[in-house]
Structure 1
């Protein structure tokens, strides 16, 4: 089984370097072009299912993939981006200043994010046969958490920068993760 982890296209906040978290922002013009190009690039993938975060930017990106596959898009709240609490909407410099003051952020703990993300991957992968190929359209922190867990922190959170509409492919044989 192959699982394609696809990050959504660009939003205005991505372009401005702002942390989005669970803010429900749409793709900007560049993001729409990225999503269309991603759909074309994966047009021959033969997805048996496409799952998406319910946030607009992910759903719009997943919709472009679905143009080439008969399965449609299934929204899955477990694919929603990390909740950044009060850090949402801030630039990197603003976040550093906030955290330097020791103010509480209300940010979702990484372990909770990673647990939620891996449970979603495991659940969706187990619903499909060994020869299936599925897409999961989500967000940078969510995908990085999956990559960190699977690589035992060789890549992923804190180490890997995921560009908009990047594609990470993971393979699962039987019940084991690889």
Structure 2
């Protein structure tokens, strides 16, 4: 028996607006971000979620708490859903890294992308895949919601789509959208992507 796992990225934050790398650090949701999140339960309620999981990082946890209030669900923390560790790049902006010539070589590495002192994309995929597979087994026959981060969403979906995670590939993920996975027997499959919230 399978489980439906819905993935959603946290609401917009101050550092998102500045194009600043957050990784495991944190910044607060913007006013617009909090307003957007408060409206999501109207759409999400139709899925009949029986459980709500979240990355323990503040921006995801705050998003999940707001969704939980709207959906009548308590939030359970899942460490496997945390964002990629960006090491010494944490707090820097994308334009700063580009102008210093640091970003392009890492982007060209695809799945081997590993910020200095940080975590490889392959590691993000391994731990998030394990977490989602485990949650799927624990909730067979039901639907659950997981609040996570862009790095996790990309890693899982790109792996399932067979992408090389290279900058030459077309962008396919909406920044704030719902993605549905079907979990069964330790396997994950994409059921839908980029659904509006």
TM-score bucket (shorter structure): 0.7 to 0.9
Matched, 1:127 2:129: no
In structure 2, the CA distance between the partners of 1:120 and 1:100, relative to structure 1 (3 Å rule), is closer
Question: Structure 1 residues 2 and 139, CA, compared in 2 at 3 Å: closer, same or farther?
Answer: same
8 Å CA contact 1:43–1:65 kept in 2: the answer is no
Superposed counterparts of 1:1-178, under 5 Å: 1-96=3-98, 97=100, 99=102, 105-130=116-141, 132-153=142-163, 159-164=171-176, 166-178=177-189
List runs of 5+ in structure 2 lacking aligned partners. 106-114, 190-197
Question: SS in structure 2 opposite 1:35?
Answer: helix
* 1:2 shift after superposition: 1.1
Secondary structure of residue in 2 paired with 1:67: helix
Counterparts of 2:82 and 2:71, CA distance in 1: 22
Instruction: Report SS of the residue matched to 1:44.
Output: helix
Indicate if the aligned counterparts of 1:144 and 1:157 stay in contact, CA closer than 8 A: no
TM-fit CA distance, 1:116: 0.7
Query: How far, CA to CA, are the matches of 1:92 and 1:68 in structure 2?
Result: 34
Task: Tell me the number of residue pairs that the alignment of Structure 1 and Structure 2 aligns.
Answer: 175
Asked if the contact 1:144–1:160 (Cα under 8 Å) also holds between the matched residues in 2, the reply is no
C-alpha distance in structure 2 between counterparts of 1:37 and 1:81, whole Å? 24
> What is the CA-CA distance between 1:100 and the residue it aligns to?
6.4
Alpha-carbon contact 1:52-1:62 (below 8 Å) kept = yes
- Deviation of 1:95 (Å): 1.7
TM-score (norm 2): 0.80
RMSD: 2.4
